[in-house]
């Protein structure tokens, strides 16, 4: 099969479009013919290499997949060959206390497609049967692939961790990111007032079309995003405010003034991916047209390197997707 493979970490040109053997499935797995694979910032980290994260090489990246079932293992009962599917990106053990209580994003064996295992930037990908989600028939493959990782992450941040309440004010940093464009819609769905930041006025207009009530251009006004935004993010919190973060794109060193933390009764919340249960809820709302993936640009699989460079330039609004 054709696949995007890298044998060493580095700039986008380490991504090679080559022939590799089709994956062999286990009894509890399915083989999916990939139709579209959306990129995430995670793909850039995986390609660049992360300290202390031994990505197996050579490696096929890609976490967000929509496609059709091509083959099923002998123990598979819930999907059939030819069925359209969207895949949950998180692969877990399925047996530990976290997994069986539905908190699978706390599984110690948690990984994503395309992270510690091969992903969907290929004609075929193998996944456990339990990762197959119902396909939202109102969406194209490119749109469907743009949903899982970012909507699951944004849902877990706002609903699972921050327990967003109707009428609250939400500041969303980076409206043009995949997570940002999902978070605006989810926050509005819960009846919040949304203030979104972006680096251009054009992106802020798009954020408002998605439902944001107010926009802040972080190039011209104070508020930037990671280490770069931390102090201002803390300062932006209302008394009893919650700060929830799902990454460290601009760096991982942060300091906190404990006087503000206790006297203003602030909460600092980390959030990592989301649960499959949350993803089922998201997919139901997507199928009903209540939440919509935002696809910025589609590249053919063979041009994955150009797609990575484009995502790295931060000029997109929403998702960059590879068509297979």
Residue 92 is a binding residue for Zn ion (CB under 5 A): yes
Per DSSP, the three-state class of 90 is: strand
Choice between 105 and 233, CB closer to Zn ion: 105
Task: Give the Cα separation of 208 and 175 in Å (integer).
Answer: 10
CB of 92 to Zn ion, least distance (A): 5
Q: Smallest distance from the beta carbon of 110 to Zn ion, in angstroms?
A: 7
> Quick check: 96 binds Zn ion (CB under 5 A)?
yes
Q: Determine the interface stretch with Zn ion among 12-20, 85-93, 176-184, 236-244 (rule: CB under 5 A).
A: 85-93
Q: How far is the CB of 113 from Zn ion (least distance, A)?
A: 16
Task: Report which of 14, 27, 36 is spatially closest to residue 74, judged by C-alpha positions.
Answer: 27
Angle between helices 178-189 and 148-155 (to 10 degrees): 50
Question: Which lies closer to Zn ion via its Cβ, residue 98 or residue 244?
Answer: 98
Which of 53, 81, 93, 235: binder of Zn ion (CB under 5 A)?
93
- Ranges of H-type helices in 82-222: 97-100, 141-145, 148-155, 178-189, 201-209
56: Cβ contacts below 8 Å, ≥ 6 apart = 116, 117
User: CA-CA distance, 324 to 315, in Å (whole number)?
Assistant: 23
Q: Kindly tell me which of 99 and 173 has the beta carbon lying closer to Zn ion.
A: 99
By beta-carbon proximity to Zn ion, the closer residue of 1 and 96 is 96
# of chain residues touching Zn ion (CB under 5 A): 5
Part in contact with Zn ion (CB under 5 A); list of ranges 73-81, 96-104, 168-176, 288-296: 96-104
Q: Which of residues 17-76 bind Zn ion (CB under 5 A)?
A: none
Stretch that binds Zn ion, among 61-69, 91-99, 213-221, 267-275 (CB under 5 A): 91-99
Residue 200 C-beta: closest distance to Zn ion, Å: 42
| Element housing 276 (H / E) | helix 276-287
Judge contact between 26 and 84, C-beta under 8 A.
Answer: no
Q: Considering beta carbons, is residue 70 or 107 the nearer one to Zn ion?
A: 107
Q: What is the largest CA-CA distance in the chain?
A: 59
Pairing of strands 124-128, 29-38: antiparallel
Give, as one character, the DSSP assignment of residue 14.
Answer: G
The interface with Zn ion within residues 157-196 (CB under 5 A) comprises none
What is the x/- site pattern for Zn ion, positions 103-142, by CB under 5 A? ----x-----------------------------------
Q: How far is CA 102 from CA 105, 111, 276, in A?
A: 8, 16, 7
User: Given the rule CB under 5 A, which residues bind Zn ion?
Assistant: 92-93, 96, 99, 107
């Amino acid at each position: 099969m054709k696949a995007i493979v890298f044998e060493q970490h580095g700039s986008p040109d380490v991504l090679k479009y080559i022939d590799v053997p089709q994956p062999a499935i286990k009894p509890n797995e399915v083989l999916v013919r990939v139709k579209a694979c959306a990129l995430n910032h995670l793909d850039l980290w995986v390609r660049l290499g992360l300290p202390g994260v031994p990505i197996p090489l050579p490696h096929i990246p890609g976490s967000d997949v929509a496609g059709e079932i091509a083959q099923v293992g002998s123990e598979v009962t819930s999907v059939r060959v030819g069925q359209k599917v969207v895949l949950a990106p998180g692969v877990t053990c399925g047996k530990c206390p976290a997994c069986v209580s539905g908190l699978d994003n706390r599984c110690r064996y948690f990984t994503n497609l395309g992270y510690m295992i091969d992903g969907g930037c290929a004609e075929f990908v193998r996944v456990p049967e339990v990762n197959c989600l119902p396909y939202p028939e109102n969406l194209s493959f490119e749109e469907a692939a743009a949903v899982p990782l970012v909507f699951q992450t944004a849902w877990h941040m706002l609903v699972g961790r921050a327990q967003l309440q109707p009428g609250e004010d939400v500041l969303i940093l980076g409206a043009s990111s995949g997570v940002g464009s999902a978070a605006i819609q989810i926050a509005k769905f819960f009846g919040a007032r949304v203030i979104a930041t972006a680096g251009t006025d054009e992106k802020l207009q798009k954020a408002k079309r998605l439902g944001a009530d107010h926009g802040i251009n972080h190039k011209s006004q104070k508020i930037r995003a990671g280490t770069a935004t931390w102090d201002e993010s803390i300062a932006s919190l209302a008394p009893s405010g919650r700060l929830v973060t799902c990454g460290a794109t601009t760096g991982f060193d942060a300091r906190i003034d404990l006087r503000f933390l206790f006297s203003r009764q602030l909460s600092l919340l980390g959030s990592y991916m989301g649960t499959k249960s949350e993803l089922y809820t998201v997919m139901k709302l997507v199928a009903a047209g209540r939440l919509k993936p935002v696809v910025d640009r589609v590249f053919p699989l063979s041009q994955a390197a150009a797609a990575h460079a484009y995502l790295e330039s931060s000029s997109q609004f929403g998702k960059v997707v590879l068509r297979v």
